Amino acid sequence: MVVNDLARRTPLIAGNWKMNLDHLQAIAFVQKLAWNLKDAGHDFSAVEVAVFPPFTDLRSVQTLISADKLDLAFGAQDVSAQESGAFTGEISGAFLSKLECQYVIIGHSERRTLHNESDEQVSAKISAALKHNLVPIICVGETAADLELHGPSAVPVAQLRAALANVSNAADIVVAYEPCGRSGPVRLPRPNRPSRLRRSCAQCCRRRLAKT
């Protein structure tokens, strides 16, 4: 876990498909995306692009990207905290690693609100991802109610602090901010809020590093 200046990091554009597109639609979409980016002269070394299809599409996307040598990264929308066993519907990090996923989204607001996913569960999933060399995209966010009750950055920073509890300094992670999730009215953040939150999250990471 290295906290650098923004200019030293490679920006990442991550597209979460949620529950959209079957495996055939996924193939067509990824092909079109790759063509459009190439035609636009996109520099993948300057800005990384990753797609996050549903689990049922991952094999098709992996095969296409590998066969056509596309400069796209891909990952999963969730991962189980469990390694294997009687956990119906769960997908382990080992499975995702075999599919050559680079990333996995963890702690998305829809998982937190619709599936009651706790900070402890998020932390366990991050550990499971890192065990299999998957880079966790740790989602943090706040609702309009959170902003009114706790003020800017308080909830996202608390979520990040809990998420990093068992993360080593050497771990590669991504932090993604989701402004005002499903459990409250959607409001666009003020122009300076994302930059303020970035500084708060970076400070949280530095404090975590200082303790180890």
Instruction: Set out the domains of the chain in order of their start, with CATH numbers.
Output: 6-210 (3.20.20.70)
**Residue 191: predicted pLDDT:** 58
The whole-number pLDDT of residue 179 equals 73
Active-site choice (48, 90, 100, 178) = 178
Give residue 5's pLDDT: 47
Q: Look up residue 204 and give its two tokens.
A: 């949280």
Query: What per-residue confidence (pLDDT) applies to 205?
Result: 73
The confidence score (pLDDT) of residue 169 equals: 82
- Dig out the tokens for 11 from the structure: 């920006």
pTM equals 0.87
For residue 159, CA distances in Å to 79, 145, 146, 165, 177 come to: 18, 16, 12, 10, 11
Q: Does residue 108 have an active-site annotation?
A: yes
The predicted structure's pLDDT at residue 60 = 98
Q: What are phi and psi of 174, to 5 degrees?
A: -130, 140
Give me the helices (H) in the chain, please.
23-39, 58-67, 93-98, 109-114, 119-131, 144-150, 154-163, 193-210
Q: Which of 108, 110, 117, 142 is catalytic?
A: 108
SS3 113: helix
Give the pLDDT of residue 8: 66
Is 178 a catalytic site residue? Answer: yes
pLDDT at 189: 56
CA–CA distance, 208 with 206 (Å, rounded to integer): 5
Kindly give the parts of the chain with pLDDT less than 50: 2-7, 181-184
Q: What secondary structure letter does DSSP report for 68?
A: T
